[in-house]
């Protein structure tokens, strides 16, 4: 593995992951929280995840992939959802390169070439 995946579900752990990986290329995937059975309530996230995962091997050497579960349905739909507010998210799934304007949302994530572009281009 050339990259490290970090799973977070709270803003605290998110910020800790950022702090611990300062200076590295950080990619964040915001998605709906999965239930105990590992199922997501968010159909778009379910569709996008395998496409995003299939491209992870293209991540740059030494980069960080934060897999961020933003909450269950009611938690995400709340306009005050911490991730929604902190990262100005309008929808999930969202994939972004932290600290850059490079961002893909919803159906853009069904296009593996776009995902690859986000992972590989400066």
Partner 1 sequence: MRGWGRGRCSVLNGLPEIIPTFNSFLLQFEGKYDYDLLVIGGGSGGLACSKEAAQLGRKVAVLDYVEPSPKGTRWGLGGTCVNVGCIPKKLMHQAALLGTAVKDATKYGWDIPSPVRHDWATMAQAIQNHVKSLNWGHRVQLQDKKVTYLNLKGSFVDNHTIQGVSKTGKKTVLTAENIVIATGGRPKYPPQVPGAELGISSDDIFWFKDSPGKTLVVGGSYVGLECAGFLTGIGLNTSLMVRSIPLRGFDQQMAQLVTDHMVSHGTRLLWKCVPRSVERETSGRLHVTWSDQQSGRVEGDTFDTVMWAVGRTAETKELSLERAGVPVNPKTGKIIVGAGEESSVPNIYAIGDVTEGRPELTPTAIRAGKLLARRLCGQVTELMDYDKVPTTVFTPLEYGCVGLSEEKAVSSFGQDNIEVYHAYYKPLEFSVTERGANQCYIKMLCLREGDQRILGLHFIGPNAGEVIQGFALAIKCEATYSQLVATVGIHPTCAEDVNKLNITKRSRLDPTVTGC
**CA-based nearest residue to 11, from 89, 104, 93:** 89
Structure tokens given for 51: 């496409």
**CA-based nearest residue to 33, from 92, 90, 110, 86:** 92
Among residues 56, 82, 103, 106, the one that binds partner 1 under rule CB under 8 A: 103
Q: How many residues bind partner 1 (CB under 8 A)?
A: 11
121 lies in the site for partner 1, by CB under 8 A: yes
Given the residues 25, 45, 104, 118, the one annotated as active site: 45
Query: x/- site string to partner 1, residues 21 to 40, per CB under 8 A?
Result: --------------------
Which one, 13 or 102, has the nearer CB to partner 1?
Answer: 102
Given the residues 25, 26, 28, 42, the one annotated as active site: 42
Structure tokens given for 47: 């569709």
Active site residue 42: yes
**Binding positions for partner 1, 41-100, rule CB under 8 A:** 100
Active site residue 45: yes
Give 81's contacts (C-beta < 8 A, 6+ positions apart): 70, 71, 75
3-state percent helix, strand, coil for the chain, nearest multiple of 5: 40, 20, 40
Interacting residue ranges for partner 1, rule: CB under 8 A: 100-104, 108, 111, 113-114, 117, 121
């Amino acid at each position: 593995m050339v990259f490290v995946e970090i799973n977070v579900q709270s803003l605290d752990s998110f910020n800790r992951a950022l702090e611990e990986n300062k200076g590295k290329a950080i990619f964040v995937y915001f998605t709906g929280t999965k239930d105990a059975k590992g199922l997501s309530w968010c159909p778009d996230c379910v569709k996008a995840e395998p496409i995003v995962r299939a491209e992870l091997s293209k991540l740059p050497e030494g980069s960080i992939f934060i897999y961020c579960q933003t909450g269950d349905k009611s938690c995400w739909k709340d306009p005050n959802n911490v991730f929604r507010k902190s990262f100005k998210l309008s929808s999930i799934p969202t994939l972004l390169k932290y600290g850059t304007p490079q961002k893909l949302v919803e159906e853009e994530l069904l296009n593996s070439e776009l995902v690859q572009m986000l992972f590989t281009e400066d």
